[in-house]
Structure formats: C-alpha cells, structure tokens
C-alpha cells in the first residue's frame, strides 16, 4: 500500500457522507486502544490525526449508519466456497446484481455492496462461504500480506444498488406471537436456556476474551461434542461480539478449555473406576 493511501480514501469517503475508522496495518482488526466501528466518524481532523501518525493503516467502513449491506463471498475454504453457493442460488432464481459496487477482497473473495435499511446483521455462513453484514467491513485500499481490497471495473460507492428483494426477505425476522407470553417467560428456565440468552446478549470489545472463555466453558458443560463446541464458538465470536476476535485467538481459547475438560474427564474416570472397584 502507498503511504497515506487510506487517509486519502478516508477523506473522500467522509466527503460523501460515510463514517470510517482505522484498522491496524496488514490486518482487519482495530489498533490497540481503538474501538473499531463504534468510533467511526466523519470528522476530518480526527481522521487526519489517525492516519498521519500511521500512514499505512488499513481502512474500515461503518455500514449501519449508511444503510449498507455487504454480501461477503469467501473462497479460501474449499469445503465452504462462496462462489459455489452463489451458483446454487442463481439456479434458484436468486441473483446478486452484477452492476452494484463490488470489491475483490485480500483473500480473493468478493464483497457485494447493497443499500439496505433493515436491522443490523452479521450472519456467518448464511450459505456456505457467504456472510451477510450490515455493521462494518474493511474496504479499499486496505491490504493484507501484499494483497489489496480493490473495486471491480473502476466502480465507486455511487454505483451501489438496492439489495434484492429475496435477500431482504431472508433477513427479515418475524416476531413470534406467543399465545401467552407471560406464561412462557415465567416458566422455569433450564441451564441451556440461560446459556442461550446470555450468548445472544453478547459482549463488547473490552470484555470479549473473558466472555468467550466463559461461553466456551458453559458449552462444554452441556455435554456437546468438542467439534460442536468449536463450531458454535466461532459462530458466537462472529455474531455476538462487537469487533470479533481473530480465529486463531478463538482456537487458542478453545484448545485451552478443551485441555482442561479432558483432564477433568480423566480425573472423574479414575475416581469412578475406584468406586466401582
């Protein structure tokens, strides 16, 4: 990336009414001490301060305050290839406008940008390899390991088209009409119910490691298979934590708790065998 490339892009974006925030150089995570998209701004003095001191910062775009939705099509996992999922959707008559603003990502995937006024969402693997997000995203000219985010065919954010109806319908959440809401909410809540409620409440960046550690421990306590716990841990991180952790951090936390659970299982097995003997 050229020196100050993100600064120049950021100033152009705020002139068009968008809110931006800094990302550490060569990453999709906020710099230490920053709060990601929650501190996104249009204030040019603040932006200049951020990027003049760090001319190679990457650039983040806040989506919800601009009524934008990004369809993230990943291709780095052969088992979850987003382009294959797009083809399957097209065969069902569900297409994404090829004329909207599209960026090629640093990972070789695609970001389709659409106008969207629904609730804020971040849905991981909504279809295999396809994420939906209307909260925040990295944007050009951000660069990771020498590979940049870049618009296709010289397009700009002025080319963004409305989200297709089938996609908006997919994201529309219908409220449940309980026949007796009071009777439901006052019933005895079991362990898993409490866990799910706490999970969906989520947490903020300042507490994410401790919170996710607790969630993973509680998932193991349900008796679920380790593979199930890991998949849920990754999903919880992406959906319910403001500024999700890097996957490698999630894996480190998971492995630590798995090791602890295995030791506990071994101790219990020895104790039970002594009792039985």
pLDDT at 20 (0 to 100):
97
H-run or E-run covering 143: strand 143-144
Instruction: Give the model's pLDDT for residue 41.
Output: 97
Mean pLDDT of 95-99: 95
Average pLDDT of the residues of the chain = 87
Residue 203 pLDDT: 80
pLDDT tens for 169-219 read: 888 754 444 444 444 444 555 777 788 878 877 887 678 899 999 999 999
The phi-psi region of residue 188 (left if phi > 0; otherwise alpha if psi is between -120 and 50; otherwise beta) is beta
Q: What is the pTM of this model?
A: 0.65
Question: pLDDT category, 271, cuts 50, 70, 90?
Answer: low
When pLDDT is averaged across residues 247-271 and rounded to a whole number, the result is 83
Strand intervals (E) in 13-88:
20-23, 58-62, 68-73
**Which sequence spans correspond to the domains of the chain?**
5-171, 181-276
Model pLDDT, residue 182: 46
Residue 113 reports pLDDT greater than 50: yes
Task: Report the relative pairing of strands 161-162 and 150-151 from DSSP bridges.
Answer: unpaired
User: What's the confidence (pLDDT) of residue 242?
Assistant: 74
More confident residue, 202 or 108: 108
* pLDDT higher than 60, residue 276: no
The residues near 42 (Cβ < 8 Å, ≥ 6 apart) are 14, 17, 18, 19, 20
pLDDT tier, 66 (very low <50, low <70, confident <90, very high otherwise): very high
Find out whether 199 and 229 touch, Cβ atoms under 8 Å: no
Give the pLDDT of residue 177. 47
For the chain, the farthest-separated pair of C-alpha atoms sits apart, in whole angstroms, at 77
The answer to whether 30 touches 24, Cβ cutoff 8 Å, is: yes
Task: Please count the other Cβ atoms lying within 10 Å of the Cβ belonging to residue 240.
Answer: 19
**Choice among 38-47, 72-81, 85-94, 150-159 with the minimum mean pLDDT:** 72-81
What whole-number distance in Å separates Cα of residue 20 and Cα of residue 12?
10
Q: Does the structure show a pLDDT above 80 at 77?
A: no
Q: What is the pLDDT of residue 119?
A: 83
Give me 187's structure tokens: 């019933």
pLDDT digits (tens, 9 = 90+) for 254-265: 999 999 888 887
Q: Which has more pLDDT, 223 or 71?
A: 71
> Can you list the alpha helix ranges (DSSP code H) found in the chain?
5-15, 44-53, 82-91, 165-171, 181-185, 191-201, 208-221, 226-240, 247-276
Model pLDDT, residue 173: 53
Highest mean pLDDT pick, 33-37, 133-137, 236-240, 266-270: 133-137
pLDDT digits (tens, 9 = 90+) for 7-33: 999 999 999 999 999 999 999 999 988
Res 181: pLDDT: 46
Distance, in Å, from the CA atom of 42 to the CA atom of 19, rounded to the nearest integer, reads 5
């Amino acid at each position: 990336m050229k020196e100050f490339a993100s600064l120049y892009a950021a100033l152009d974006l705020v002139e068009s009414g968008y809110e931006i925030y800094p990302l550490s150089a060569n990453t999709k995570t906020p710099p230490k001490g920053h709060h990601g998209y929650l501190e996104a701004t249009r204030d040019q003095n603040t932006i200049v301060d951020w990027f003049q001191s760090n001319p190679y910062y990457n650039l983040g775009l806040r989506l919800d305050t601009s009524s934008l939705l990004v369809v993230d099509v990943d291709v780095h996992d052969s088992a979850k290839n987003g382009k294959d999922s797009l083809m399957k959707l097209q065969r069902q008559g569900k297409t994404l406008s090829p004329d909207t603003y599209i960026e090629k990502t640093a990972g070789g995937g695609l970001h389709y940008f659409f106008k969207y006024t629904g609730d804020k969402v971040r849905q991981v693997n909504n279809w295999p390899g396809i994420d939906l997000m209307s909260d925040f995203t990295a944007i050009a000219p951000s660069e990771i390991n020498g590979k940049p985010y870049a618009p296709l065919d010289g397009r700009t954010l002025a080319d963004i088209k409305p989200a297709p109806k089938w996609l908006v319908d997919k994201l529309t959440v219908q409220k449940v009409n309980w026949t007796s809401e009071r009777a439901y909410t006052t019933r005895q809540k079991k362990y898993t119910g409490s866990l799910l409620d706490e999970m969906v409440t989520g947490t903020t960046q300042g507490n994410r490691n401790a919170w996710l550690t607790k969630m993973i421990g509680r998932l193991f306590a349900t008796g679920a298979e380790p593979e199930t716990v890991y998949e849920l841990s990754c999903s919880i991180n992406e959906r319910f934590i403001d500024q999700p952790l890097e996957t490698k951090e999630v894996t480190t936390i998971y492995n630590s708790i798995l090791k602890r659970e295995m030791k506990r299982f071994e101790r219990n097995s020895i104790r039970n065998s002594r009792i039985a003997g």
